Structure 1
Amino acid sequence: MSDDPGRRERKKQATRQALVTAAVRLFTERGYDNTGVTDITDLADVSKRTFFLHFPTKEDVLLADSEARAVLAVEAVAGHATPRESLAAAAARMIADTAAGDLPSGLAALRAQLVVTTPAVQARVLHVTFQAQTRISAALLAAHPGEFDEVTASAAVGALVGAISAAAVTSLARGDSPDATLAAMRTATDVALRCVTPGS
């Protein structure tokens, strides 16, 4: 039973979530700069080695959802008749995943605060966002090669992701509810799609 892949994956996800929960609590109570990896692992009752198996850096705890969200967006791009439909599907998938994931837990609000106030977090978020945009851009170009080249695909994805991110940070920074923040992200999607998709 201990070798059951499903059980191992559930245990892995539970450990990952425990680390995120501990980090959010400590960052909120003590401040980001006053919290170390050892503090997080002590509260989560795991080793530092376990921490680094899940997260390369302390900043990455705040981005626990980023890889899965990028994969969802890339998958959503394919199979649509127009670039607008592909981009709209990618945005909708990312926003839906946000609604199901980190907004209710307070992770997104804390991340938004730290992006504004903490250069190390800001730099890591920008790096991870750039990597995700590069993957989504490649998927968009592959799905609609006649509509985009590398530059215009990157510009379209960058405008869309940037608009959604900026709207979310602004909404969270002013203390909006999760529902209001999701609404702001959807509004940003509509604005961006009107600007960046051919024929709009």
Structure 2
Amino acid sequence: MSLRERKRERTRQAIVAAAADLIERNGYERTTVADIAAAAEIGTRTFFSYFPTKEDVLFPESDDRVRVTVAAIENRSATEGPAAVLVRALHEVAASSEDLTGRMARLRLRLMHEVPAVRGRGLQIQMDVQREIARHLAAAYPSTLDPVSAGALAGALAGAVTGALLALFDDPKQWEDPDVLRSAVERATAIALAPWGESVDGAV
């Protein structure tokens, strides 16, 4: 990345970290965008140049996950089936970020349960992500997938990841060990994608 890009990424990370700290300490409703901006040492206008709403700061890497997944589909090997390519993309996301299994993931899940606005935004993002991934899958595998089966496959992957994390949500000791979380996601993904007849064990 260029110097400008690195600076922008540092600012973005500072915003996310400040939001997590404040929300964990004060609660979601009592934390304002102005509070987050002040803690990140930026102005509120700068905050909105990174995140359109307060809810969006809780989903900081959803666009990156889509980009990684689309790239994996586009760069698939000749022998790589649709389930395998999705799991490879999940592996690449997990290797480059803790967004799926780290501190923000637990905070996000809790707030989606407690705060209607966060739940609504999360469901909208998930729907958008699944539709985009399904569209690329159907285009990449026209002889294997139609729009319905591509949507089912994208939904199965998303549901497996969310289901695994929710299953461990009430056990803080489990959430403190990223290896446990990755293992749970891996197992859930293998179960969800088993009907596709591809070997995906150990891919995450």
Normalised by the size of structure 1, how large is the TM-score? 0.89
Gaps of 5+ in 2: 200-204
Match of residue 92 from structure 1: 91
Aligned to 2:202: none
Q: Judge which range, 62-71 or 172-181, deviates more.
A: 172-181
Give, as a single letter, the amino acid of the residue that structure 2 aligns with 1:154.
Answer: G
Post-superposition CA distance 1:127-163 (Å, at most 9, x none)? 1111111111112112211111111110111011111
CA distance in 1, matches of 2:91, 2:165: 14
TM-score normalised per structure 2: 0.87
CA drift of 1:69 comes to 1.1
Task: Tell me the residue number matched to 1:178.
Answer: 178
Q: What's the CA shift for 1:199?
A: 7.3
- Tell me how many residue pairs correspond in the alignment: 193
Q: Classify 1:35/1:127 alpha carbon distance in 2 versus 1 (closer, same or farther; 3 Å).
A: same
Q: What is the letter of the counterpart of residue 181 of structure 1?
A: L
Give the partner amino acid of 2:85: S
The 1:138/1:104 distance shift into structure 2, 3 A limit, reads: closer
Residue ranges of structure 1 left out of the alignment (5+ in a row)? none
How many angstroms apart in 2 are the aligned matches of 1:73 and 1:147?
18
- Residue number among 105, 108, 111 corresponding to 1:108 in the alignment: 105
Aligned to 1:43: 39
Alignment identity in percent?
Answer: 38
1:190 maps to amino acid = A
Look up the match of 1:33. 29
Give the deviation of 1:166 after TM superposition. 1.7
CA 119–136 in structure 1, closer or farther in 2 if over 3 Å, else same: same
2:92 alignment partner AA? R
Structure 2 match to 1:128: 125
* Cα drift, residue 164 of structure 1: 1.0
CA drift of 1:92 comes to: 2.2
CA contact (8 A) 1:103 1:178 kept: no
Q: Which protein is richer in helix relative to its size?
A: 1
Structure 2 SS opposite 1:42: helix
- Asked if 1:193 is matched to 2:193, the reply is yes
CA RMSD for the aligned pairs? 1.9
Aligned to 1:9: 5
Once the two structures are TM-superposed, the CA of residue 93 in structure 1 deviates from its matched residue by: 2.5
One of 136, 142, 145 as aligned partner of 2:139:
142
CA contact (8 A) 1:77 1:87 kept: yes
Q: What's the CA shift string for 1:24-67, capped at 9, x where partnerless?
A: 00000000111010111111111110000000110111111111
